[in-house]
Chain A
Amino acid sequence: MTDSHVLQADNAPGLRAGNMKWKLTGLFTMIAILYAASFLYTGSSLADLWNGLPTIAAMFAQLFPPNWGYAGEAWLYLSETFHMAIIATTAAAVVCIPVSLMASSNIMQEQRVLYHLTKQVMNILRTIPDLLLAVIFVGIFGIGAFSGILALVIFSLGILAKLLAETVEAIDPEPLDAVRASGGSTLQVIWYAVIPQILPQYTSFSLYVFEINVRASLVLGFVGAGGIGQLLQRSISFMDYDRTMMIILIIFLAVVLIEYISGKIREAVL
């Protein structure tokens, strides 16, 4: 036997390929630099956090105990939040049906221009934050729940139409042929062959968007668009932190409850 079996520690390959090592180092350096830059740019410093800690601690101390007596008024505003979410979801769920059909390539085989246009408009709508929509509608229609509802409708329409269009594009095309071949009009094809195929997903997506709308409508009040947000903002700016805590508690309960119920229903329909 020659020395071929002697371990050669010098030539042993590293656990990572050399090239990989450099890539990782580069990546982490880049992240570190970006992070440092971000920190500088946002004027954040750990010193600020350190100095702010006593204030934060004092504020958190004041949050407790919550002002239980405030629950009644908080509930009043929270129910307005729910009303807004319910109306907005309903409106979006109705409007999204034609819109999502227009954004589905298999339905719009002939009207390509309309298809691309709808799709692009929906893509743009989805990039606009709900609160920004609310700011604009408050500017036009004035303070109140109506502006908030409009913002939620537009905002959820973008999401709902995209989800639904993806579902429509994945349906079985053969039943559509059958209805067409028996003399059905486009509307009849949609009603008898498309809608039944997407109904479970439609229900599920609408509930999902309802969940999103409940969350979104919690904060619309920050810009005067109705709901419990205005109460929250008021309590914080008046430093009524015990009220703030009560509002937070009630929001928390509501969100968890809604998501639980909605989740159960969605499981049942799919």
Chain B
Amino acid sequence: MDHTLELPPEKRMTGVRKVKIALIAASIAALYIWTFAGISIDLGRVFSEQTLNNVTRVIPQLFQPDLAMAGNASLLMLQTLAMAFAGTLAASILAVPFGFLAAKNMMASKAANLLSKWSLDGIRAFPEIMLALIFVSAVGPSPFAGVLAIAIGSIGMLGKLYAEVIESIDMHIIESLEANGAGRLQILVYGVIPQVVPEFLSYAIYRYEIDVRSSTILGLVGAGGIGVLIQISTMNRNWDEVGMALLMIILVVTAIDYLSSFIRKRIV
């Protein structure tokens, strides 16, 4: 039997779809043109003789951490962990009222609801190191500035997550308590808190994980912790010391991640 070959018909496309595709392609192209026309990179300088020297000097040193610095680095790393802990704990408590205000199913008025939601969004727009820079100029260069930055920064995320947890609780329990004539405070203590505490805790621990990472670098703007060592060592071009700090961060962050996910699995 003979089957004469025949090309498939062209794909039919509506005019709207064609326009849409053209628009998307044009905006992507425009974005890239804007980017590459605007960026100023002096490739001649980037790949200069100087760079080659740096590569051969910096990279080997990074991979040979200065073991003499191990003690000092450990102490600073401990400070980083403490900064993160103090910051996260403060935030995990301060975020509770924000969470309740931002949750739609709690008593808050519409205005209070929106206001707290927006302020949480507002906080989250700023990286912690930016807050640290501001606090350093306010209270002076110290780990305390770091704690403040971590605390404020973490409220933004924790408040939002808490609000989501609260919005997802089982309202039947609340209703039955109401039907039993329980007061507001009683409802809170017996109906809401038991439902949300494990997840609050889990999120707080998760946030600690994040805060440990971000507090390792706060020292770069003077806010304490292992970042201080990085700051000083890079200024002195002691890359083996930076290597030590790097190694410390990799080890500790990995350990904290394991520990945190281990604990969180047990809680929820």
Contact = CB atoms under 8 A, between A and B. Distances in A.
Interface stretch (A110-118, A121-129, A165-173, A177-185): A121-129
B129 interface: yes
Which of B31, B41, B45 is packed against the most chain A CB atoms within 10 Å? B41
Contacts of A144: 41-42, 45-46
B39 A43 contact: no
A252 B124 CA distance: 9
A159 interface: no
Contacts, number: 161
Nearest to B134: A236
A157 interface: no
A216 interface: yes
B191 interface: no
Given A84-B39, A252-B122, A142 B46 contact: yes
B156 to A, nearest CB: 12
Interface string A89-106: 000000000000000000
Interface residues of A, number: 58
> What's the dominant secondary structure at chain A's contact region?
helix
Interface stretch (A1-9, A52-60, A193-201): A52-60
B197 to A, nearest CB: 10
Nearest to B254: A127
Contacts of B242: 135-136, 139
B133 A222 contact: yes
Nearest to B135: A56
A145 interface: yes
Given A131-B217, A139-B54, A38 B230 contact: no
B144 A127 contact: no
A86 B35 contact: yes
A132 B231 CA distance: 10
Which of A38, A79, A124 is packed against the most chain B CB atoms within 10 Å? A38
A91 B216 CA distance: 26
B50 A142 contact: yes
Contacts of B83: 38, 42
A122 B134 CA distance: 33
A58 to B, nearest CB: 9
B133 A232 contact: yes
A142 B45 contact: yes
A218 B129 CA distance: 10
A42 B147 contact: yes
Interface string B231-257: 000100101001001100110011001
Contacts of B147: 38, 42, 44
A51 to B, nearest CB: 8
B169 interface: no
Contact of A42 (B79, B220, B254): B79
Nearest to A215: B127
Given A42-B79, A56-B138, A129 B143 contact: no
B62 interface: yes
Contacts of A255: 125
Contacts of B200: none
Nearest to B251: A127
Contact of A140 (B51, B221, B249, B254): B51
B112 interface: no
A43 B142 contact: yes
Nearest to B216: A129
Contact of A139 (B86, B125, B213, B239): B239
Interface string B137-180: 11110111011100000000000000000000000000000000
Interface of B: 31-32, 34-36, 38-43, 45-46, 50-51, 54-55, 58-59, 62, 78-79, 82-83, 85-86, 89, 121-122, 125-127, 129-130, 133-134, 137-140, 142-144, 146-148, 213-214, 216-217, 220-221, 224, 230, 234, 237, 239, 242, 245-246, 249-250, 253-254, 257
27 contacts: A31-B89, A35-B85, A38-B82, A38-B83, A38-B86, A38-B89, A42-B142, A42-B143, A43-B144, A44-B143, A48-B139, A56-B139, A83-B34, A86-B32, A124-B250, A124-B254, A127-B250, A127-B257, A128-B249, A129-B217, A131-B129, A140-B51, A140-B54, A219-B127, A244-B134, A252-B125, A252-B126
Q: What 9 A-B pairs are tightest by C-beta distance, nearest first? A: A42-B143, A44-B144, A38-B82, A52-B139, A38-B86, A127-B253, A41-B82, A131-B217, A83-B39
